[in-house]
Amino acid sequence: MGACGLESGDAVLAAIPVRKMTIGITQTLLLMNGGFAMPKRTISDRPELKPVNASAAAIDIGSKMHMAAVSPDCADMPVRAFGTFTQDLHDLADWFKACGVTSVAMESTGVYWIPVYEILEQRGFEVILVNARYAKNVPGRKTDVSDAAWLRQLHSYGLLRGSFRPDAEVATLRAYLRQRERLVEYAAAHIQHMQKALMEINLQLHHVVSDITGATGMRIIRAIVAGERNPDVLATYRDVRCHSST
């Protein structure tokens, strides 16, 4: 017995927090007195999901082959493989038409999805582009179900959210703007290569011309490329707006 007059077992009980001890005693008394207990919910008690899009289909995008899936009620073979050539993509669209498909879901895999997306959109299908991360985070997938069939099932239940895809005109304009941005970035690197080449032949052009890609600099560089080596002749290519003298 300690200084407080507690047995060893009492010391253990005294170390238990009051809240946890109270909850434990309450549950024990309810069970001893025939009290109620919360019933466990089984899987059969849960409400089943109803398809909201019975005419949904899905495509598992690949580099050499696309796996397409439709509803098992629409075809004897609900999952089929198609090639990646243009005619194969049109055959895929024809098969979807024959199965009564109106909406197609696909994952954004690299750039392989772009031809499929554009052809299906031109053929009148509603195509949604899905982030692969969203599809993988949905629980309940069986191991023997293919990716295309799983995407189709999720799409039929309305559990997939499509990514933003602009119209064809906006997409074309965006491609031009991105190409222009790349060319501007590449131009800076090419100017540095030109400056390095001039330094290697000990042509100190950047000391007298602030911008070697300006009018004076490009005239001199083009003359050097054409075979001119006389510095007096090269100096005559000076533009009138150049601040340095001949």
State residue 88's pLDDT score: 96
C-alpha–C-alpha distance, residues 53 and 127, integer Å:
13
CA angle 195, 197, 202 (to 5 degrees): 90
Residue 58 has pLDDT above 90, yes or no: yes
List, for residues 6-27, the tens digit of each pLDDT value. Answer: 455 555 445 545 444 445 555 5
Name residue 82's beta-bridge partners: 66
pLDDT classification of 104: cutoffs 50, 70, 90: very high
List, for residues 63-89, the tens digit of each pLDDT value. Answer: 999 999 999 888 889 999 999 999 999
Class of domain 56-156: alpha beta
State residue 18's pLDDT score: 47
CA angle 234, 236, 237 (to 5 degrees): 75
List, for residues 177-212, the tens digit of each pLDDT value. Answer: 999 999 988 988 898 898 898 889 888 888 888 888
Q: Where are the domain boundaries for CATH 3.30.420.10 in the chain? A: 56-156
C-alpha–C-alpha distance, residues 108 and 130, integer Å:
6
Of the candidates 186, 187, 206, the residue with the CA atom closest to the CA atom of residue 196: 206
